[in-house]
Amino acid sequence: MRSGKHKDTVLITGANGLLGQKLCLSFSSSYKVVATDLHTQNLTSFSNSVYECLDLTDRRALVFHVRFYNPRVIINAAAYTDVDGCEIHRSKAWATNVGGVKNLVEVCQKHQIKLVHLSTDYIFDGEKGPYSEEDPPHPINFYGQTKLEGENVIKEGGIDFLIVRTNVLYGVGKKVKKNFLLWLLEKLSAGEKVKIVSDQFNNPTLADNLSACMLEMAQKGISGIFHIGGTDYLSRYDFALKVADKFEFDKSNILPTKTEFLNQKAKRPHRGGLSTRKAQRILRTKLLSVEEGLEQAKKSKEETKV
């Protein structure tokens, strides 16, 4: 029999994803974690946590789990993030990235729950990044449109919220879909040549570092909109060269190209990325350089044999 709201219970959506796994690990050290994802298989078997299969677009299921576990905070790390896929499967993208957020806002309104939501630099057009929290959004692809609308739903919902925008999330996890780092390492380890764009700029973010920042923000009760990213602003091509250096692969297999030659379904911002000055003023957690992030990712890869 439950005894009302557990003051230290956090419900995490998208728990089987790269960031979701890091969040479950970080938060389970000091919170009771309810890990949720679409899959029946639990990839987040940490102490002080339980796992539930949950689809955010299923409002009834969401309401049931929120009533049962009574979380104080919900962290939404679930999203349809296939940028080109969003152009093709627009209904699915909208249902997840907007409809799912609407469901979360409704339960947070009713039960006085704080919502922590992950967003992206793709809400900006990439004309003059890195962007601050005060810069006006102007998405140039449908993924960015859905993420911006999700933010608007939260801001208009009259709830306590924290929106954390990030970019080029990378790292090592258990059975996660290939982020840029893992995709590149797979290609380089096979001796394949890869073309990487030299005209898209961001500040790549180690998922472990983002998770640590979010834990600190939750513990401090911080609300509003914050940008979290790495401290180095560079092109994808230069990031790829640093990956090759750190993991000791042949850099000559990395060839520069331009975005226009990739023929991608969705437009990509050229000068994206996020200014992290606001976050750095309030956080004790250090934001990592590419060198520091890749060093940590390399250790994780060696430990997990991913």
Between strands 9-13 and 73-76, the pairing is parallel
Q: What DSSP character marks residue 95?
A: I
Tokens of 175: 């059975």
Instruction: Single out the residue of 43, 38, 112 nearest to residue 74, CA to CA.
Output: 112
CA distance 110 to 267: 38
* Sign of the C-alpha dihedral computed for residues 44, 50, 52 and 57 taken in this order: negative
Residues labelled as active-site residues: 143
CA distance 254 to 7: 50
Tokens of 276: 């992290």
CA distance 77 to 86: 17
* Sign of the C-alpha dihedral computed for residues 246, 235, 304 and 19 taken in this order: positive
CA distance 19 to 28: 14
Helix or strand or coil: residue 49? Answer: strand
Tokens of 141: 């692809």
